[in-house]
Amino acid sequence: MKKAIEFSGSRGAGKSPRGAVRLHRQNILSLIQSYGLKFPNEQQTLQRLYRFVSSNPHCFERQLLVGHITGSAWIVDRGYEKTLLTHHKKLDKWLQPGGHADGVTNVAEVAMREAQEESGLSDLVLVDPGMFDIDVHLIPARLEEPAHYHFDCRFLICCHGDESYVVSNESHDLAWVRLTDIERYTNEASIMRMVEKTVLLKKLI
């Protein structure tokens, strides 16, 4: 039987004077708890995400300059053999589609919105309402925007139909990349971790 994760700093953190966690953060805190049970070896990142959400009522707003919640989509084909990557204009890196929550507290909804907007794909299905991966990474300062952190919540999304994509104005390009060829595009640790999770998942379906 899996044991519930005890989060450091959870007692009293992020609570109102009446002792209740604010309603708009309950969903993501529940997702974090479930993620900890599924991926117990990612506790360091998990604890960091939990503390950030618990202590920042405005965590879903990009105006929170220290950092904010983002939602990303790990889009795969029906055979779980390829993923759709975007060549991000601002960061000049091949990454999974994703973006700011901008006040939306349902991070799975954010991930699906970003998947559709950045790919033009229409037949997308959320494979699991739980988070597929999490990552905390520093975004460099740019123009008048200071350096800050993205607390990224990633969801597994499957393309069930036409795989023809449309490149948005946020990307240089898009590409369906076979998981075996990922290192030709990126060796980003978090992306390699999602590749490993996808390979393991494919063996179970």
Number of domains composing the chain: 1
Give the CA radius of gyration of the chain.
17
5 has pLDDT over 50: no
Q: Is 172 contained in some domain?
A: yes
Q: Is 133 contained in some domain?
A: yes
- Neighbouring C-beta atoms of residue 52, cutoff 10 Å: 19
Q: Is 135 contained in some domain?
A: yes
pLDDT in tens, 78-97: 999 999 999 999 889 999 99
pLDDT over 70 percentage in the chain: 90
110 has pLDDT over 90: yes
Q: Is 61 contained in some domain?
A: no
11 has pLDDT over 50: no
All residues at 6 or more sequence positions from 114 whose CB lies less than 8 Å from its CB, including other chains: 71, 72, 73, 97, 98, 99
Q: Is 196 contained in some domain?
A: yes
* Stronger pLDDT, 125 or 4, i.e. the higher one: 125
Residue 107 corresponds to which amino acid? V
Q: How does DSSP assign 67-127, residue by residue?
A: EEEEEEEEEE-TTSSEEEEEEETTTTEEE--EEE-TT---HHHHHHHHHHHHH----EEES
The predicted model scores a pTM of 0.89
pLDDT band at 142 (very low <50, low <70, confident <90, very high): confident
* Residue 157, both tokens: 């999304």
pLDDT in tens, 45-87: 999 999 999 999 999 999 999 999 999 999 999 999 999 999 9
Q: Is 51 contained in some domain?
A: no
- Reduce the DSSP state of residue 138 to 3 states and report it: strand
Q: From residue 133, how far is each of 18, 73, 119 by CA, in Å? A: 32, 10, 20
What pLDDT is attached to residue 145?
87
Domain that holds residue 200: 67-204
Q: Is 77 contained in some domain?
A: yes
